[in-house]
Structure 1
Amino acid sequence: MPSPSAPLFRFGVVADPQYAALEPNPALDRYPANSLAKLEEAIAEFNRHDLAFVVTLGDIIDGGWESFDAVLPVYETLRHARHFLLGNHDFAVASQHLNEVASRVGMPSAYYDFAHAGYRFIALDGNEISLFAPPEGDPRRAEAKLLMKALHRAGAMNPHRWNAAISDTQYAWLVAKLDEAKAAGEKVIVMNHYPIFPENSHNAFDSESMLMLFAEQDHLVAYLSGHNHAGNFGVVDDTYFINFKGMVDTEDSNAYAIVSVYEDRLEIQGFGREESRVLVLQDA
């Protein structure tokens, strides 16, 4: 049984609200217009708790620049600090807006980090090397095509147009942030829209290289992601890989979570379709 000690802090998690004023897609069981009410419900619950922040793991909208005008005001009702990541659907906007998405949602930059109570949170921009986020003609689109071809030749599950990877520049930044956190004695939680484990058709193109990097990080506690709306879970070398379920799925059941961070464990309280878990920290 978990010890009853008070948590160091708690934070809320939302994955894939994917709001848009669109008709439902019953074939995929997605109801993008219903996400405003679901988000309002989640925020009402978050506001009942003492949370350090709430993170949205990408796909704030389903598409359309005007969708931000409807969904972002809902976040204004949140009484806690909020952090956003971007997903593939956030770039389903007119081409002239592709370079404005991060600033539209008030992000300091497309990838960033912050510290809280002995933890370093690293928020990745998993969209850099893709067929959708860079402007037309950008060499990163060609790089994404080469990655997809290599993955296809290797028989991988994930060479799909809706997946992506981080750049070499961001990878070097990630390594530096992991090193900084280790030197500071901080535990690390990495967040990305794209999962990297277990193997799945929704995983980032660079899953293997990230897993190799993370295998060397004994201070890395967890990797949080969205994108795969069904959710997923795995453990590698005492690091937990938690893929949260998509809020946009189903007509009326919700999906979000509150994570309580203790000295010796993470406790995930799932709401709606999201699962609850107790994750013991091996080096605590």
Structure 2
Amino acid sequence: MKTKTELRMVRTNCHSFILCFLLFINGIAKGQQAQPIIRFGVIADIQYAEKEDHGSRFYRNSIEKMDSCIIGLNKKKLAFNVVFGDLVDQGPKDLKPIMAHLRKLRAGYKNVLGNHDYVDVKDKEMLYKQFDMPAPHYVFEKANWMFIVLNTNEVSEYGANENSPFLKEWRDLSATLKREGRKNSLPWNGGISSIQLNWLENNLKRAQNKQKNVLVFTHHPLYPENGYEALNNREILRVLEMYPNVKGVISGHHHEGNFAYYNKIPSIVLEGMVETSKENAYGVVELYPNKIVLIGHGRMTSRTLDF
């Protein structure tokens, strides 16, 4: 039979073991949280072209910037890379050297179409094939995340084929925006069709059913509104805000970069690579269970966004 002293020692040892075990489990949880679930590279508005510099845009210099960008991204352990449109300034005639550079990315790449990518293109609905894309708009998944790539050039004068229903949709939308005095009714802005909007909502429902978080990738920003936003950004945002698993929107197009919350949805606009003669602009996004971290290089702004 144990003495009172021995029983106290047993209880003390048990308590110490339980405390150590809980601290060990807590340490594992914190360690897991300290590591991102997914890490991917981001590039926007390379806008390479064989043409003279104009203002703050140095078109030929984008090749040299891509060299250092690829070296930097290849040093990281990434799941993939995303280019947010305007790979070229004057359409596919200058695309070959940019695609050759992108193929050097060890983690591969996902492209988004931008308005400059459509310059002098005849069959606009098939343009995506030249950019190694599965479709003009598409979805892919990694871990517990779904990534939705929109084509915000679909409804536009420059992005729709003649006699396309998308062209009529653009005319109607453009007329409405002009009547309302919206600043974004400009020839280099576009939007998504009612068909694509329905496709978006179906994928958001699918992500919700699968309990996946969502990031939306676009060329034209959805927010804030300053004249660079997609033509029907408000309709798109109304759909997105219905789904709490949408954790953010990342876009290009506005080379200065930008950021704002639309209700609880963070909208990041990435700085464009083509700006300035020497300074680069690219970054790495890290996705955690409770936050998004953007680590910017060069002109790209670093941000931490808590859920």
Q: Which amino acid aligns with 1:83?
A: K
TM-score of the two chains, using structure 2 as the length reference: 0.87
CA displacement at 1:31 relative to structure 2: 1.1
Partner in structure 2 of residue 227 of structure 1: 253
Among 59, 62, 86, which residue is 1:59 paired with? 86
Residue 274 of structure 2: aligned partner: 248
Which residue of structure 2 aligns with residue 159 of structure 1?
185
Alignment of 1:24 with 2:53, yes or no, is yes
Q: Determine the C-alpha separation between the residues in 2 that align with 1:280 and 1:50.
A: 23
Between the aligned partners of 2:202 and 2:108, the Cα distance in structure 1 is 25
Find the aligned partners of 1:72 and 1:93 in 2 and give their Cα distance.
Answer: 18
Alpha-carbon distance in structure 1 between the residues aligned to 2:263 and 2:275: 31
CA distance in structure 2 between the aligned counterparts of 1:268 and 1:103, rounded to whole angstroms: 29
2:120 is the counterpart of 1:93: yes
The aligned amino acid for 2:45 is D
1:202 to 228, 231, 238: 228
Name the Cα RMSD after superposition.
Answer: 1.3
**Cα distance in structure 1, aligned partners of 2:197 and 2:237:** 12
Give 2:169's aligned amino acid: E
The reply to whether residue 189 of structure 1 matches residue 215 of structure 2 is yes
- Equivalent in 207, 212, 220 of residue 238 of structure 2: 212
The alpha-carbon deviation at position 193 of structure 1 amounts to 0.4
> AA paired with 1:55?
V
Contact 2:125 2:136 in 1 (8 A): no
Paired with 2:232 and 2:92, the residues of 1 have a C-alpha distance of 28
The one of 104, 110, 125 aligned to 1:77 = 104
Letter in 2 for 1:177: N
Structure-2 separation of matches of 1:184 and 1:136: 39
Quote the residue 1:128 is aligned against. 154
Q: Distance in 1 between matches of 2:124 and 2:244?
A: 37
Are 1:44 and 2:71 matched, yes or no?
Answer: yes
- In 1, the alpha carbon distance for the partners of 2:53 and 2:125 equals 29
Q: Structure 1 residues 180, 70: CA separation in 2 closer, same or farther (over 3 Å shift)?
A: same
Distance 2:88 2:139 in 1: 23
> Unpaired segments of 5 or more residues in structure 1?
none
- The worse-fitting range, judged by mean Cα deviation, of 37-46 and 178-187 is 37-46
Q: CA deviation at 1:178?
A: 0.2
SS at 1:159 equivalent: coil
Partner of 2:289, secondary structure, is coil
Following the alignment from structure 2 to structure 1, what is the Cα–Cα distance between the partners of residues 91 and 118?
A: 9
Gaps of 5+ in 2: 1-29
Counterparts of 2:227 and 2:196, CA distance in 1:
23
Q: Distance in 1 between matches of 2:52 and 2:171?
A: 31
The residue identity in structure 2 corresponding to 1:119 is W
When residues 188 and 94 of structure 1 are mapped into structure 2, their CA distance, relative to the original with a 3 A threshold, is closer
Counterpart of 1:262 in structure 2 is: 288
- Once residues 165 and 199 of structure 2 are traced to their aligned partners in structure 1, the CA distance between those partners, rounded to angstroms, is 20
Superposition deviation, residue 233 in structure 1: 0.4
* Rounded Cα–Cα distance in structure 1 between residues aligned with 2:164 and 2:244: 37
Letter aligned with residue 214 of structure 1: L
Q: 1:40: Cα distance to partner?
A: 1.5
**Residues 29-50 of structure 1: CA deviation (Å, up to 9, x unaligned):** 1111111111121111000000
State the partner residue of 2:201. 175
Deviations 1:236-277 (A, max 9, x none): 232110000111111111111100111111111011111111
User: What are the Cα deviations for residues 12-66 of structure 1, in whole angstroms up to 9, with x where unaligned?
Assistant: 000110111111111xx11111111111211110000000000001111101432
> How far apart in 2 are the matches of 1:265 and 1:195?
21
| Matched-pair identity in % | 33
Secondary structure at the aligned position of 1:11 is classed as strand
Letter in 1 for 2:42: V
Q: Using the alignment, how far apart are the partners of 1:201 and 1:17 within structure 2?
A: 21
Equivalent-residue separation in structure 2 for 1:163 and 1:94 (angstroms): 17
How far apart are the structure 1 equivalents of 2:168 and 2:38? 43
**Residues 1:7 and 2:36 are matched in the alignment:** yes
Q: Which amino acid aligns with 2:282?
A: Y
SS of equivalent to 2:228: coil
Please state whether the residue corresponding to 2:92 is helix, strand or coil: coil
Q: Report SS of the residue matched to 2:45.
A: coil
Aligned residue identity for 2:95: F
Q: TM-score by structure 1 length?
A: 0.94
2:117 matches 1:117: no
Q: Tell me how far 1:152 sits from its aligned partner.
A: 1.4
- CA positional deviation for 1:71: 1.1
